[in-house]
Amino acid sequence: MTERQWTVYLSGEIHSDWRERIRDGVAAAGLPVRLVSPVTVHEDSDDCGVAVFGSEPDKFWHDRKGAQLNAMRTQTLMRDADLVVVRFGEKYKQWNAAFDAGYAAALGKPYITLHPEQHDHALKEVDGAANGVAREPEQVVQALAFIIRGDMPTAAHAAAAAAE
Amino acid sequence: MTERQWTVYLSGEIHSDWRERIRDGVAAAGLPVRLVSPVTVHEDSDDCGVAVFGSEPDKFWHDRKGAQLNAMRTQTLMRDADLVVVRFGEKYKQWNAAFDAGYAAALGKPYITLHPEQHDHALKEVDGAANGVAREPEQVVQALAFIIRGDMPTAAHAAAAAAE
Amino acid sequence: MTERQWTVYLSGEIHSDWRERIRDGVAAAGLPVRLVSPVTVHEDSDDCGVAVFGSEPDKFWHDRKGAQLNAMRTQTLMRDADLVVVRFGEKYKQWNAAFDAGYAAALGKPYITLHPEQHDHALKEVDGAANGVAREPEQVVQALAFIIRGDMPTAAHAAAAAAE
Amino acid sequence: MTERQWTVYLSGEIHSDWRERIRDGVAAAGLPVRLVSPVTVHEDSDDCGVAVFGSEPDKFWHDRKGAQLNAMRTQTLMRDADLVVVRFGEKYKQWNAAFDAGYAAALGKPYITLHPEQHDHALKEVDGAANGVAREPEQVVQALAFIIRGDMPTAAHAAAAAAE
Amino acid sequence: MTERQWTVYLSGEIHSDWRERIRDGVAAAGLPVRLVSPVTVHEDSDDCGVAVFGSEPDKFWHDRKGAQLNAMRTQTLMRDADLVVVRFGEKYKQWNAAFDAGYAAALGKPYITLHPEQHDHALKEVDGAANGVAREPEQVVQALAFIIRGDMPTAAHAAAAAAE
Amino acid sequence: MTERQWTVYLSGEIHSDWRERIRDGVAAAGLPVRLVSPVTVHEDSDDCGVAVFGSEPDKFWHDRKGAQLNAMRTQTLMRDADLVVVRFGEKYKQWNAAFDAGYAAALGKPYITLHPEQHDHALKEVDGAANGVAREPEQVVQALAFIIRGDMPTAAHAAAAAAE
Amino acid sequence: MTERQWTVYLSGEIHSDWRERIRDGVAAAGLPVRLVSPVTVHEDSDDCGVAVFGSEPDKFWHDRKGAQLNAMRTQTLMRDADLVVVRFGEKYKQWNAAFDAGYAAALGKPYITLHPEQHDHALKEVDGAANGVAREPEQVVQALAFIIRGDMPTAAHAAAAAAE
Amino acid sequence: MTERQWTVYLSGEIHSDWRERIRDGVAAAGLPVRLVSPVTVHEDSDDCGVAVFGSEPDKFWHDRKGAQLNAMRTQTLMRDADLVVVRFGEKYKQWNAAFDAGYAAALGKPYITLHPEQHDHALKEVDGAANGVAREPEQVVQALAFIIRGDMPTAAHAAAAAAE
């Protein structure tokens, strides 16, 4: 009997390497996890709508076409996911990340937030509906290892995390 | 880990080659998409009910038996689909296409409409609940390529689309 | 104990007096029915979006703003309704009516279609998911009287309907 | 038969008078609308959790208790609402507003966003799932008047909105 | 604060006075219960479809029209109900009663069956999904009195029931 | 890309060979169908509860234990099914078949009834919510062939069915 | 426009006066709250099933009849509630309280637990899905006052709570 | 066509070998069952939260972090399961087991309880919503064999169970 595969949606910030760090950690641990994400190439995510459905002179509708095309990917993948990770980086408004958290919450889908302490107060509602708050991507990997296999973080993991 | 397979329901017009053009485009791009459709042989779709469950002297019930038999296929496949494409051709009432759009909308299933500009005003409610409005089948393929793989349309694609 | 109030959504054609005839019939019979509808003033329904949220040079987005504003009314009222009546008149595409029928069907909300025989074949899928097909508004009133109170059509009713 | 009462949840910014302007407009128009909101006294919303359930030395858990107490109000009222308005002001992260928008979207509840143009690009996903984007609270009132009664904005309204 | 009103759907047999006995018992006990039922006039329930929507030469479609018109009443009332009572009399197939029980079960709506012991084995699946099995209508009244007010059957009640 | 597998639940009568005839027809046509059923060994279905969970002196609870054990199989398989076939034979009450039809209807799962004409009137509500009414198991196979592959019945099929 | 009425289900312990203290507090504060509960007379809750539906020699089935009759009340009221309070007293297993908490959690209904610190570890999963953990009934009243009206606990309240 | 795989969630007691006995029985019978469970290493289940997300000085929040991390595993697996088994051992409060039963009940997921007779009265509500009450793990295996394959317990099975 094959192992259950878990699908984890990685929402939010696209300007740091957090997705790669989770991907590497998952691979290193050999976890049966399919990681899925929005399109993370910023310009493509902005311009896809007009590239596919035709150009718009007004930036508002240019954005609308892109947002709705992206949403076909993101909503499908999020509905499909077992768990969601929502990352808030140090900069930008990142309202789409908070939107995804609310979307997951209303679907009854457990999520983990991943953000520096500086955002704690501003994110208190988003954290309040989360099942975990992580500071580093490696903690997300550890959480997945525990959730899926019951593996506790090893000292090595702990050291690695501490060394960040 | 195998790639996620996407299921796309192709609803609407049965008198032009739009389904084939999408099928060809999906094959050419090697997209992991299962395309599903209603039965598109017009007479079969009309007569299946009486052929299976017995003839009816009254055309109204002849049609009813057919419509309900077809619905077992279409509703199952639509509920099963990740995305829906709804095509309105240049002729006919095509109320079943609009019905499918409403059905998809109420299920929270994203859909793309595909129709010429001449229908824009008459379809404004149907387009208003859609996540994209395409003019050519190739745009649907491009949308799928972006949704599934994040691939932007290439110049070649753009040229091909423009050449239609 | 007060009588149960029924809410009935009247979808579709806005160019004939069918809503008034249902309203009059319901009033005459004293049925506890709240009749609700989309906005039926054609120009307002077209222009409301830009009137409220600002003008658009492109007719496509002009229509989009209107359609989405109208949808806040129609979807709320339809979700709220016990029953839906969907009217297809003799002219126009009336795709929004078919969209509403599909929307009702997916919500599991029973609906009655109301249309002349000439549309029977084109509407076979829409009729196939309906709980009744009426030709005249008075039949809808009779259906409501039976559904709500168990009242059978009287000879007078029948004559009135026949006289149409 | 009494008029249908509409419930509208006003989410987001608590540092300007937008809720009052909507409340005044609704009252002036005599619309049958119940406006509901989160608790908008900033300190109370922050400190309610520890005031009720006991103090916490760690700010993180202080906030958690408050967020979860607030959520009992906000989620109940949002699930109860027919429509949601989500306001993004000019300052602060306002992640809870975006969270509420995602929550409403996943529930299939139509919402209107209300924000200055400067946020358009950052809010494109949130606007993309909305049924309307307003700039001024008066436009929200006009939208409600149309949704509920089919009333189009009058010249006076337009002037008032323009004068803002 | 007014007392909660309970809605109870009475499904099944139409050839004995069980509904009246429940109605009388509820009235005597002053319970805040709205009792709702299908149309119980046998001929009307059979002929309503053709009376409203037009005659059919074929008995099969004659019945179909009636069944679907009745269903608009029964499904709406059942979805609306807090509790369902399903009565199986001594005669006839009464498949619609069993259908209603399955319908209630799938909706997660608690129901009580009411039937003589002779049907126990044939109804074991239907009873197995029920929350109570009654032999006499008076037991249903007692169940409602307990469910709604916590009232235990009095000796008088018990005697009355025993005297049946 | 592999063909979609359809799951069809065969509910009802256990005293004739209708399931075998459907199974043979599906095999002969090579349809990608998984046929599932309740346990059809009458005594086992009656006695399983006490055999597993311990004997009961009272037949009522003997039956209850069996019915609830069977229900874990039947409800799981029915929820899992794409389509349901509900068979009513010529004898017995068969209330569990009607229960299953109601259960399927409330889940929005399309079903076909299979019964002789003699039951038409008694089953009018059950047929009224069905998507097809068959007289012979071979018609169910033909319906599946059309639903899944769009295959129309051949003359041979028709002859075979007629020869029944 | 009348104030929104909130319905709060009070689950759990029946051997102390916590429900009365909440009732008194709600009355004193004049909160628009309808408090609902299971039947809290221990013997009635145990014996109702056999009193209504007939005696059982076997205690197991005696209890079963009672539990299922009680469930018609409790599940209906819990589904109806906006909020749930789950009380664990100092004694007994109180598994029905934990069952209710799980039931509320799966329905997405926010709940507050009410229990002494000694149970904290044993209740960590139940508390972990709660939106608040109270020690005294007065805290529940304060929570309701905040949730419904945004009222913060006064010094008097705080003193009263401290004096417990 | 491959056999359907059944997923069974084993909730509750972690201090006896009941899961192993079910696992052994399932393996011996060759049943197509995937057995899933919470993490059953007591200390890990307690400490996982702080090990992954950082230590907490207050035991209450230490537990909270653990409970919410565990919940991401348990809720996902329970939503995924076809059937749930809920075990109550002889000691401890085991409120999480009762919580899981309520959670399964509200999801409409059938469950079997497994506990000694001494708990019958205290568990009457939990048993009342169950589809079976077992005393020994081997009975659960027998139930699965019947549910999945229609296999009745053999004399050997019966003897083995009796010998416990």
Q: What is the mean pLDDT of chain C?
A: 94
CB contact under 8 A, F44 and H150: yes
Residue C35 confidence (pLDDT) above 80: yes
- Give the position of tokens 């078919």: C98
Residue H60: pLDDT band by 50, 70, 90 thresholds? very high
Q: What is the value of ipTM here, to two decimals?
A: 0.93
- Provide the pLDDT confidence category of residue F162 given band limits of 50, 70 and 90: low
Q: How far is D58 from chain A (nearest CA, A)?
A: 12
Chain C residues whose beta carbon lies within 8 Å of the beta carbon of residue D146: 39, 44, 48, 52, 69, 73
Closest Cα in chain E, distance from residue F140 (Å) = 19
How close, in Å, is residue D71 to chain G by CA atoms? 8
Give residue-wise pLDDT tens across range H68-102: 999 999 999 999 999 999 999 998 889 999 999 99
Going by pLDDT thresholds of 50, 70 and 90, the confidence category of residue E154 is confident
Chain D residues touching G134 at Cβ < 8 A = 52-53
Residue F12: CB partners within 8 Å, gap ≥ 6?
F85, F86, F87, F88, F89, F94, F96, F97, F100, F114
**Using the beta-carbon criterion (under 8 Å), do F152 and B48 form an inter-chain contact?**
yes
Give residue H163's pLDDT band: very low, low, confident or very high (50, 70, 90).
low
Per-residue HEC secondary structure of chain A comes to CCCCCEEEEEEECCCCCHHHHHHHHHHHHCCCEEEECCCCCHHHHHHHHHHHHCCCCCHHHHHHHHHHHHHHHHHHHHHHCCEEEEECCCCCCCHHHHHHHHHHHHHCCCEEEECCHHHCCCCHHHHHCCCEEECCHHHHHHHHHHHHHCCCCCHHHHHHHHHC
Give residue B92's pLDDT band: very low, low, confident or very high (50, 70, 90): confident
Percent of chain B whose predicted confidence (pLDDT) is above 70 = 93
* Minimum distance, in Å, between the CA of residue E133 and any CA atom of chain G: 7
pLDDT band at E87 (very low <50, low <70, confident <90, very high): very high
pLDDT attached to residue H2:
74
Q: Which of A62-76, C101-115, E38-52, F147-161 has the lowest mean pLDDT?
A: F147-161
Q: What is the arithmetic mean of pLDDT over G121-150? A: 98
Task: Give residue F56's pLDDT.
Answer: 98
Cβ–Cβ below 8 Å for D60 and A100: no
Q: Do D120 and A63 make contact, defined as CB atoms within 8 angstroms?
A: yes
- E163 vs H15, which has greater pLDDT? H15
Question: CB distance B52–F147 less than 8 Å?
Answer: no
Answer whether residue H164 shows pLDDT above 70: no
Other chains touching F, judged by 3 or more CB pairs under 8 Å = B, E, G, H
Supply the pLDDT for residue G3. Answer: 86
Q: How confident is the model at residue B161 (pLDDT cuts 50, 70, 90)?
A: low
pLDDT at E159 over 90: no
Phi-psi region at A94: left, alpha or beta (left = phi > 0; alpha = psi -120 to 50):
left
**pLDDT of res. C60:** 98
Mean pLDDT over residues G91-101, rounded? Answer: 94
Contact D95 A63 (CB under 8 A): no
Q: What percent of chain G has pLDDT over 70?
A: 93
Residue H57, phi then psi, degrees to nearest 5: -70, -30
Which range is least confidently modeled, A152-156, B103-107, B139-143, F112-116? A152-156
Please answer yes or no on whether D69 and G139 come within 8 Å at the CB atom: no
- Binary contact (D132, C34; C-beta < 8 A): no
> What value does the mean pLDDT take over residues H110-126?
97
B87-91, E130-134, E160-164 — which one is most confidently predicted on average?
E130-134
Mutation for H interface: D61, D63, D65, D68, most H CBs within 10 A: D61
Distance (Å) from the C-alpha of residue D146 to the closest C-alpha of chain A? 24
Q: For A74-117, what is each residue's pLDDT tens digit? A: 999 999 999 999 999 998 889 999 999 999 999 999 999 999 99
pLDDT in tens, C6-29: 999 999 999 999 999 999 999 999
The token pair at D117 is 């143009």
CB contact under 8 A, B120 and C60: yes
Q: What is the rounded average pLDDT for all residues in chain E?
A: 94
Percentage of chain C modeled with pLDDT above 70: 93
Q: From edge to edge, which strands make up the β-sheet containing A6-12?
A: A33-36, A6-12, A83-87, A111-114, A132-134
Nearest to D69 among G132, G135, G158 (CB): G132
Neighbouring-strand partners of residue C11: C86
H contacts of F71 (beta carbons < 8 Å): 110, 131
- Show residues of chain C in contact with B94, CB under 8 Å: 95
- Map tokens 């007994």 to a residue: G92
Task: Tell me which chain D residues have a C-beta less than 8 angstroms from the C-beta of A129.
Answer: 67, 71, 99
Mutate to test the interface with F, among B36, B37, B50, B72 (most CBs of F within 10 A): B72
Residue of chain H with shortest Cα separation from D62: H61
On chain F, the residues whose CB falls within 8 A of the CB of B44 are 146, 150, 152
Residue from C68, C72, C77 whose CB has the most chain D CBs within 10 Å, to mutate: C72
Contacts of B140 (CB under 8 A, 6+ apart): B22, B25, B85, B112, B114, B134
Interface test with C, best of E4, E43, E52 (most C CBs within 10 A): E52
Q: What is the pLDDT of residues F1-56, one digit of tens each?
A: 578 999 999 999 999 999 999 999 999 999 999 999 999 999 999 999 999 999 99
Determine, for residues H125 and G70 on separate chains, whether the beta-carbon distance falls below 8 Å.
yes
Using the beta-carbon criterion (under 8 Å), do A68 and B132 form an inter-chain contact? yes
Cα C55 to chain centroid distance, Å, stands at 30
Q: Inform me whether the pLDDT recorded for A21 exceeds 60.
A: yes
Q: Do H52 and A4 touch (CB under 8 A)?
A: no
For residue A121, give the chain D residue with the closest CA.
Answer: D63
Q: Is the pLDDT of residue C57 over 60?
A: yes
| Secondary structure (3-state) at C105 | helix
- Shortest distance between the Cα of D140 and any Cα of chain H, in A, equals 38
How many Å lie between the alpha carbon of F53 and the closest alpha carbon of chain H?
6
Nearest chain B Cα to E57, which residue? B58
Q: For residue B142, which residues of chain A lie inside 8 Å, CB to CB?
A: 51-52
- pLDDT of A11 > 80? The answer is yes
Determine the average pLDDT of the residues in F74-87: 97
What is the per-residue pLDDT across D35-94, written as a single tens digit (0 to 9) for each? 999 999 999 999 999 999 999 999 999 999 999 999 999 999 999 999 999 999 998 889
Residues of G in Cβ contact (< 8 Å) with D51: 142, 146, 152-153, 158
C34 contacts in chain D (CB < 8 Å): 1, 4
Residue E162 confidence (pLDDT): 52
Amino acid E92: pLDDT: 86
